[in-house]
Structure 1
Amino acid sequence: MNINAGQTIAIEPPFDAARLDRLMEEAGIDVLLATSKHNTQYLLGGYKFIFFAAMDAIGHSRYLPIVVYEKGAPDHSAYVGNKMEGSEHHNNPFWTPNVHAATWGTLDAAALAVEHIKKIGKSGARIGIEPGFLPSDARDFIGSHLDGARFVDATHALERLRSIKTPAELEKLRLASELITDSMLATIAVAREGTTKGEIIEHLRREETNRGLHFEYCLLTLGSSHNRARSPQAWAKGEILSIDSGGNYHGYIGDLCRMGVLGEPDAELQDLLAEVDAIQQAAFSKVKAGAPGTEMIEAAETLLKKSPSVAFTDFFCHGMGLITHEAPFLMTNHPVAYEGIDGDRPLEVGMVISVETTMLHPKRGFIKLEDTLTIKEGGYEMFGERGRGWNRGGV
């Protein structure tokens, strides 16, 4: 069912359609079927159906949103969604000229996508899919009902499309980072001797939620332990704390790490965090539009090799935005399993990267800084830059 019957709506896509057309041409894609939550959200201009925000499963199947986009023909675009999304469209119409809000599972979503592809005359086209986000039953159905069609992996094209953030996206990422920083510093300040990891994580969750973030996770260590999972471990006087959290602001991820100490940091702790920061600063010094990502990596790793803590310290950087690891992909399998295909490519204005240095000190514990930068012409802008030193607990 096309619930746009009799309606006239704008068909100007809320993304760079010309860029997407170029990327599809390069990838050999005629028609795109985006099925991941993050890419359907992006292609719909930020929309995400709240009913399935926490879980996709319903009945015997799962929610499967689909954005259909034909290269060079945005007027042929369609959105396939759940039956309840008809009300969402009524209140805030989707940009796609065709909206099929009639599904409850994967097969009925696939059937509507096939019906639309046939309607626009692309039954035998090269169909771009997201293999990691297209259920096997839906893929089998589409493949068996489109004679002559060929599946092409569209993951790379969609990652490239999202890699350059708009000013509106950058503002959301800035706010996500600022609000996470505020939440982490507030959480460190109220944690006291005897406060458990579970209590600290729960306090952070409330701080982030009260600031308008969707809490994603908190990785926390206390004392000399390197274990970042929730536990009954309690913070003891003189011990350090590392708090690494991801929070979501209107779909965009903030991801930072800050350090705390219960008492005053001694000279060794001051020196160790200074080592971590120096490696971060070495990377920052090479960040600017036009410079390849390898320059910042080499600068950080050159200084790291000279560090007295090199045996237990690691440097890493990655792109981020709607998800925590996205283009630019700068390092290979370090630690997340993907190829660093963008390391030699020039950084571009509007890209956002996370830069992190982690020290697993055998006696003093887990010492880490993680920062978020956006690329600018002459350098970078840091989001959520406060609290990069030792933050005192129990104040």
Structure 2
Amino acid sequence: MNIAPGKTEVSSIPFEQARVDRLMDEAGIDVLFATSKHNTQYLLGGYKFIFFAAMDAIGHSRYLPIVLYEKGGPEHAAYIGNRMEGGEHQNHPFWTPTLHAACWGTLDAANLAVEHLQKIGKGAARIGIEPAFLPSDAYTLIRKALPDAKLIDATGMLETMRAIKTEAELEKLRTASELITDSMLATIAWAREGTSKTDIIEQLRREETNRGAHFEYCLLTLGSSHNRAASSQAWKKGEVLSIDSGGNYHGYIGDLCRMGVLGEPDAELEDLLAEVETVQQAAFSKVRAGTLGGDMIAHAESVLKASKVASYTDFFAHGMGLITHEAPFLMTNHPVAYEGTYAGKPLERNMVLSVETTMLHPARGFIKLEDTVAVTDSGYAMFGDRGRGWNRGGA
């Protein structure tokens, strides 16, 4: 395929330019050099090249999409992509004035990025990179070609950029949650006595795919086991089922957990799930714009601490969006290894949180609820708000 020609004018910018410019200024960044799939997707208004949706490797190298954005200078923005993306541009033009759909690997992409930075007079600028998503060979090329440039870690700035969702992003997250919830409830109803974990997971994959979601994973437990990996273990009468699934809709994550039981739940099961729900509701009661993230966490943890199930139950909350754990980061190393940098900051309107309470009961098994909520001025809006009780298997 021939290299797609660049453009000369700025199309509609798909993000809030003034906010991004302000965040760049605060971070001391002149030019963004975005290379992760999630940040290039964000900066391109939701675009993701389907050919490399599942795997980046090709030939001796890998796909490396690059979005270059100069603070206050959208007329200098560029997208550097794979040669096959010229067809994408012909059908749905990228907003960036410059496009290089010309690459097959990391070095040719990095070299084109360097040439563009030099062309716009930013060869000695403060360049914001993503260290965890910039291959070492590309980094070395950039460092040698631009010896006077200052390379700055833009990870935190980009996380803050994505923390507050647009209305379009909220709708995608809502849709993702609805599709995942419907798929889980359908799968629980489908499963029968004797159905294996492997078969249940495969059924969930089909349910999500048939509804238009992209299946990511399913963490599943049956009975008293706390093991969430696929196996030949079969569901038995009277046992619980915990189904925790992540799938995405146009790149945005739906990540929820619902409970099933094969038969009718006994009084103990009803009581145990009610304990989990009490902690969830405690967290929800503190979710609103202006509340410190840490105050929401502390309140839920205090309610859990007073519970009779505290010794084997855990509470956790985290931000979500294009990736499963993103800003706001509310807890430190619990369990994912990052700092709770947003605990002392107020929640803001249109932040999206995953709120989860997990019980590892020694006899009754893995009992958990995980919900998705968007922060509003007066409280929260829950996505996928159904099936939060005991759902009957074989229904």
Q: TM-score, normalised by structure 1?
A: 0.98
Alpha carbons 2:8, 2:98 under 8 Å: kept: no
> Hey, what's the Cα distance between the residues in 1 that align with 2:363 and 2:168?
44
Deviation readout 1:183-212 (Å, 9 max, x if unpaired): 000000010000000000000000000000
> Hey, what's the Cα distance between the residues in 2 that align with 1:57 and 1:333?
31
Aligned partner of 1:285 in structure 2 is 285
> Hey, what's the Cα distance between the residues in 2 that align with 1:271 and 1:349?
34
Letter of the 2:299 partner, please give it: A
Secondary structure in 1 matching 2:12: coil
After superposition, residues 323-338 of structure 1 pair within 5 angstroms as 323-338=323-338
Residue 9 of structure 1: how far off its partner (Å)? 4.4
Residue 8 of structure 1: how far off its partner (Å)? 4.8
Alpha carbons 1:3, 1:98 under 8 Å: kept: no
Aligned partner of 1:239 in structure 2 is 239
Q: Given the alignment of the two structures, is residue 311 of structure 1 paired with residue 311 of structure 2, yes or no? A: yes
Secondary structure in 1 matching 2:244: strand
> Hey, what's the Cα distance between the residues in 1 that align with 2:4 and 2:83?
11
Aligned partner of 2:110 in structure 1 is 110
Secondary structure in 2 matching 1:142: helix
Aligned partner of 2:208 in structure 1 is 208
Letter of the 1:383 partner, please give it: F
Q: Would you say how many aligned residue pairs link Structure 1 and Structure 2?
A: 394
Q: Given the alignment of the two structures, is residue 189 of structure 1 paired with residue 193 of structure 2, yes or no? A: no
> Hey, what's the Cα distance between the residues in 1 that align with 2:228 and 2:194?
17
**Structure 1 regions of 5+ residues with no counterpart?**
none
Residue 11 of structure 1: how far off its partner (Å)? 3.4
Q: Given the alignment of the two structures, is residue 226 of structure 1 paired with residue 226 of structure 2, yes or no? A: yes
> Hey, what's the Cα distance between the residues in 2 that align with 1:254 and 1:80?
29
Residue 385 of structure 1: how far off its partner (Å)? 0.9
Letter of the 1:131 partner, please give it: P
Alpha carbons 1:12, 1:74 under 8 Å: kept: no
Letter of the 1:285 partner, please give it: S
Q: Given the alignment of the two structures, is residue 385 of structure 1 paired with residue 385 of structure 2, yes or no? A: yes
Aligned partner of 1:176 in structure 2 is 176
Letter of the 1:316 partner, please give it: F
Secondary structure in 2 matching 1:337: coil
Q: Given the alignment of the two structures, is residue 368 of structure 1 paired with residue 368 of structure 2, yes or no? A: yes
Alpha carbons 2:10, 2:74 under 8 Å: kept: no
Q: Which runs of 4+ in 1 moved over 4 A?
A: none
Alignment identity in percent?
A: 75
Closer/same/farther in 2, CA of residues 201 and 239 from structure 1, 3 Å limit: same
Aligned partner of 2:198 in structure 1 is 198
Instruction: Please give the root-mean-square deviation of Cα atoms over the aligned residues, in Å.
Output: 1.0
Alpha carbons 2:3, 2:86 under 8 Å: kept: no
After superposition, residues 245-264 of structure 1 pair within 5 angstroms as 245-264=245-264
Residue 27 of structure 1: how far off its partner (Å)? 0.9
Deviation readout 1:148-195 (Å, 9 max, x if unpaired): 011100011111111111111000000000111100000000100000
Alpha carbons 1:4, 1:97 under 8 Å: kept: no
> Hey, what's the Cα distance between the residues in 2 that align with 1:294 and 1:84?
46
Alpha carbons 1:187, 1:203 under 8 Å: kept: yes
Residue 369 of structure 1: how far off its partner (Å)? 0.1
> Hey, what's the Cα distance between the residues in 1 that align with 2:3 and 2:164?
33
Aligned partner of 1:165 in structure 2 is 165
Q: TM-score, normalised by structure 2?
A: 0.98
Alpha carbons 2:3, 2:83 under 8 Å: kept: no
**Structure 2 regions of 5+ residues with no counterpart?**
none
After superposition, residues 36-75 of structure 1 pair within 5 angstroms as 36-75=36-75
